[in-house]
Structure 1
């Protein structure tokens, strides 16, 4: 009889352990958390039409104290977009303008 009690106790302990493991796995949320990277400012604010690109380019040129070059009307839309982005990054503040006391670490 002692052998049967040992086997019964072992089987009961196994079933309790298996049930506890099942309960824990059911309660745990296995769904992956989805995160979305925010769009960069240049792509979110980038005009999508030729007229929008021309207006944005003109505004960036005005900030720099420049005017549109002669013959700009003949430029393809892609070239206007490139010139707008170039001027946008040229007009961007420098690190010294943002934080003059910042020390560069090597």
Structure 2
């Protein structure tokens, strides 16, 4: 049997990415990382792991794999993430009535903030 252990993001600056994703998700390092690798886990207990791996690969404009972050208050979470260093992405593939907003972390990795509040 297989299970997914971690989702891995390639980043150019492990320290900067760690700081952003810790603040964004409330995660902590599972163990001390280094300049090439760190695994972040939920501070509150079990949950999905996010690994940050050093990479010099260019950012993909339309990545094949990305994170979907679910938000009860999408507008407030987007504002908070922007204050932490995320940026808006001029996404050209939005459907007519999207329930998501595409942002990029300080490294440029795209992710979506999904509106899970009442619609």
TM-score, structure 1 as length reference: 0.27
Q: Which protein is richer in strand relative to its size?
A: 2
Higher relative contact order (CA 8 A, sep 6+): 2
When Rg is computed on C-alpha atoms for both structures, the one with the higher figure is: 1
Q: Which protein is richer in helix relative to its size?
A: 1
